[in-house]
Structure 1
Amino acid sequence: MSLPINFHRTFIPERRLLNNLLQYAGNGLSGSYHDIADATGIPMGKSNGKVPAIIDYARGMGLIQYDLKSKNGIRHPVLTNFGRIVLLEDALLSQPVTQWIAHLSLCHPSHGAAAWYETFVRGRDILGASFTVTKLEDYLKNIFGPGRNRIGPLIRTYHDDVALGKIDPLKKLEKQVISGKAPIAKNYARVYAAYILQIIEDEFPGQIQVTAYDLNSVSGMFDAASWVQSDTDTILNLIEETNSVRIDRQMRPWIIHKLQPSSEVWSQIYK
């Protein structure tokens, strides 16, 4: 289930606080929101604070998941394979490659954030490549109903370096917003391959092949990246060179054949 429109409680995903949470999860700890706040230094008042938002951001970014022990107000965050390698190699999420995967994951229709999915995936053709802040606000109100500031921290997330300011899926120029593409480059091939393999394992369990169309349909990956068909073709060609997948190009849509488990490829994304 995707994160609701107001999961963020108006807070942006501060990388420093995400790092504190990843360390907490990496140590195998569990506790209430206040226990987590005490152990991590993430601010938490009596009834409100940043802990729930930071936990939800980390879940939406694919960095952690909840263990079955998480019940009765006790949260037991567990690192995903992505979260584990981030904690080891880019603990402050300062590298663009980390931030782009966090962004793509936030746009996932089932485990990402609803506002992100509606803006970057479903809204891609509706909003266009350039739109006003007012148009985005009205678009989200039409989906989620009236409310104050439906955009919330979505735009600020990519304009503040304490969050995901190293990447630019959205650029704000005065009142205008312009969408930006995820990098189409060889040094991103392995991390895209890991993410694609993760999607196949999560959404098509037991399958070793899936069409590029079906993969995008269940994940929104190519839309969230703002890629056109030629961009996607280039990316698939590049990830095939990692030897983690094989691409069947005999007919459209191309078929992606899984050659390695995602866990093996996640461990190599910073090499």
Structure 2
Amino acid sequence: MTNKSSLEFHETFKPEIPYISKILKLASEKYSGTKYEISDISGIPTGEQKGKVEPHIKYASFMGLINFSCDKGIYALSLTPLGEEVFVQDPYLHEDLTLWICHYCMTRKNFGAPQWSYLIQEAHPGIGESLSQDRLFNLANNWCGIAVSSLNKKVFSVVRGSYTDGIFSRLGLIEWGSLISFIEQTEKMDLTYVYSFALLDSWDRLYPGKREITDFDLKDGIGFGKIFGFNEDECNYVIDSLSDEGLLTVNRQLYPATIIRTANVESVIPLLYSRLL
């Protein structure tokens, strides 16, 4: 069962682009300091018990942008290879492409922010389908053990806010009222290398050492279609596009189809923004 404290890392604050950007800048400088010093230098508010500095450090980490450690209240920040590329290309997170990267990292299986990952990877009923909020809370109660009456405020309010009027709202991926609807998406050519990064990154994490995976691994193991809002046909189109780019090869003569990687994460990161007009 998921550790309850890990679900409340957000302290009820949803992720905000300006604060993620400021943490990114400090990480680019390999900054070290207390949450109060980080607040003073960045303008991100904090307090004795609650504040936005620590949640946004953790958000930036879940988004794959920074590494951090904390020793006796001193946070040491640094950029990941992904964060280095984002900081060079889009330090203020203005591009939807950057937000798709952050959304992917937040929802990746086993390694994302717990409640974001749970919503997309486990509770998600299928593209174009809906899930009632009551159904989500009942499912999540079995997952994390938090009372249904507390799940909204303690676990999912920040997830809802991030997709309805927050950092990920521009992506048009989720509509959240009494029903939670997962909106079908089409392939976006400027995201070609985001798709390949997501596939290869999850491949490394979930299938380490394997050069070949199946179509089932892609869709059910990695949750590739759910992450990006693709139905099965669109998911196949995207994989074929990545094959056309020479990033992988697909054998559809077998069942299930097999996918062989011909690229790695390190080679794809410098290309993430190369298709932006």
* TM-score (norm: length of structure 1): 0.86
Unaligned ranges ≥5, structure 1: none
Identity of aligned residues (%): 24
For 2:157, what is the secondary structure of its paired residue? coil
Aligned to 1:158: 163
- Asked whether the 8 Å contact 1:62–1:83 carries over to 2, the reply is yes
Aligned to 2:191: 188
Cα drift, residue 238 of structure 1:
1.1
Cα drift, residue 94 of structure 1:
2.4
Matched ranges for 1:96-107 at <5 A? 96-107=96-107
For 2:94, what is the secondary structure of its paired residue? coil
Matched ranges for 1:22-61 at <5 A? 22-61=24-63
Distance in 2 of aligned mates of 1:118 and 1:127: 15
Distance 1:183 1:80, change over 3 A: farther
- Asked whether the 8 Å contact 1:190–1:242 carries over to 2, the reply is no
Q: Could you tell me which amino acid in structure 1 is paired with residue 99 of structure 2?
A: Q
1:179-228 deviations in whole A, cap 9, x for unaligned?
Answer: 12344232221111122222233334444333343345554333333433
1:129-170 deviations in whole A, cap 9, x for unaligned?
Answer: 223334333433343321522422111111225x22211221
Aligned to 1:95: 95
- Asked whether the 8 Å contact 2:186–2:234 carries over to 1, the reply is no
Q: Could you tell me which amino acid in structure 2 is paired with residue 72 of structure 1?
A: K
Aligned to 2:113: 113
Aligned to 1:255: 258
Aligned to 2:136: 136
Aligned to 1:124: 124
Choose 121-130 or 14-23, whichever is displaced more.
121-130
Distance in 2 of aligned mates of 1:60 and 1:247: 31
Distance in 1 of aligned mates of 2:222 and 2:57: 21
Tell me which of 169, 173, 181 is aligned to 1:169.
Answer: 173
Cα drift, residue 127 of structure 1:
11
Tell me whether 1:224 sits opposite 2:227 in the alignment: yes
For 1:152, what is the secondary structure of its paired residue? helix
- Asked whether the 8 Å contact 1:211–1:255 carries over to 2, the reply is yes
- Asked whether the 8 Å contact 1:127–1:136 carries over to 2, the reply is no
Distance in 2 of aligned mates of 1:165 and 1:223: 17
For 2:32, what is the secondary structure of its paired residue? coil
- Asked whether the 8 Å contact 2:184–2:231 carries over to 1, the reply is no
Distance in 1 of aligned mates of 2:175 and 2:243: 31
1:250-270 deviations in whole A, cap 9, x for unaligned?
Answer: 313333322233122111111
Distance in 2 of aligned mates of 1:213 and 1:45: 47
Equivalent pairs counted in the alignment come to 267
Cα drift, residue 76 of structure 1:
2.2
Distance in 2 of aligned mates of 1:187 and 1:213: 26
Choose 135-144 or 193-202, whichever is displaced more.
135-144
Unaligned ranges ≥5, structure 2: none
- Asked whether the 8 Å contact 1:37–1:44 carries over to 2, the reply is yes
Distance in 1 of aligned mates of 2:182 and 2:214: 26
Distance in 2 of aligned mates of 1:165 and 1:126: 19
For 1:257, what is the secondary structure of its paired residue? strand
For 2:170, what is the secondary structure of its paired residue? coil
Distance 1:119 1:25, change over 3 A: same
Following TM superposition, where does structure 1 have runs of at least 4 consecutive aligned residues deviating by more than 4 angstroms? 215-218
Tell me which protein shows more helix as a share of its residues.
2
Distance 1:126 1:199, change over 3 A: closer
